[in-house]
Structure 1
Amino acid sequence: MGNKRILYLTVNRHWFDLIATGVKKRDYRQMKVYWYERLFESVNNPKHYDQVVIRNGYQPISPVIRLEYKGVDLVHSQTQVTYPDGTVLIPGSSYAINLGEILEIKNWHGSLERPKKRQVIFLKDLKH
């Protein structure tokens, strides 16, 4: 079966819950050299990953989700993504990591309570 290539990401609890419940199908990362080097071999030549492992924290007991990796897209516009909980994400110029089927979830015991009011978030303001 060989070694699987895995992309490791860390997100905050809000985004983790949206991914774990199947609502969030893309994870956005700012267009920076760091992410370019992790996601691309060269211009227009994305790296191949088999899976994505997303953690919410750095402790051994932190929630972890393993998903299929479905590639990466470039987002160049002021795209607006609205989630059912009222959160609006405006990723700006970014890399959109496409998430496939959930393969495994560990140490997650369900979603925390969602914000009650509409929340607008710009990707450039997030700390991953």
Structure 2
Amino acid sequence: MLYEYGHIGILVIIALIFPLGAVVTSWALQFVRIRPKSRPDLVRDDIYECGLRTEGPSLVQFNFRYYYIALLFVLLDVEIIFLFPWALVFDAVGWVGYGKGLLFIATFIIGGIYAWRKRALEWRL
């Protein structure tokens, strides 16, 4: 069992060595004065957008509804991803698999009805 998970452990160690090594190297080079300490600068801290000067405030609040619609889209895409293999083996799963698939679809339908009744899907300005 250790042999099977040893490969994963080695990959985790390698995955931790690279970012930690970069941070430790940067920290060490600061003391040798190869990497100078960072000083605040108005030009360097300014937001850069394709070489153009930023117009207006840099922190603009976006409407939450955009993210909400995007999350609903991702949720429905994930539902389709789970339903696709079920449809491929539909003949082999029998009545139990058919019932589980219907339960999965019913959960989304009930959630959609709930969201509709709570008016969560309306776009109000």
Q: Report the TM-score, using the length of structure 1 for normalisation.
A: 0.17
- Please state which structure has a larger fraction of its residues in helix: 2
